[in-house]
Structure 1
């Protein structure tokens, strides 16, 4: 009878250890999930900033191209008027 009680206590102890380990791993995974979410948000912000920079560069190039087109059209009009 004493052996059965000792065996039951050992099994109960082992189950508690397993339960505690699973709880600890669950907490770690939740922490990792929060870190992944944080990294995902940071990456999205960086991509948005990069896109903003690229859009501004395209706007500057477009403005420059439109200025050159205006200058060329003005020159064409002067040449056509002189002819």
Structure 2
């Protein structure tokens, strides 16, 4: 499993076994022991009204639109043969 943090981390079978964490691939989730309580400093809460502000950069939006247009053109090219 690759974790998206400020530092790239790959967690594997030994880490999960050591910390008694079960991987539920069917439901794409991790099952932690009931005795385990996460520390509040391990995550950032981003209120939904602020989440949209993160992507509000005009340069970012322009890049998104450019990439979407390129993907649409490539899809059309492949579909038309």
For normalisation by structure 1, the TM-score amounts to 0.30
Q: Whose Rg is larger? A: 1
Question: Higher strand fraction: Structure 1 or Structure 2?
Answer: 2
Greater relative contact order: 1 or 2 (C-alpha under 8 angstroms, separation 6 or more)? 2
Which protein is richer in helix relative to its size?
1
Q: TM-score, normalised by structure 2?
A: 0.31
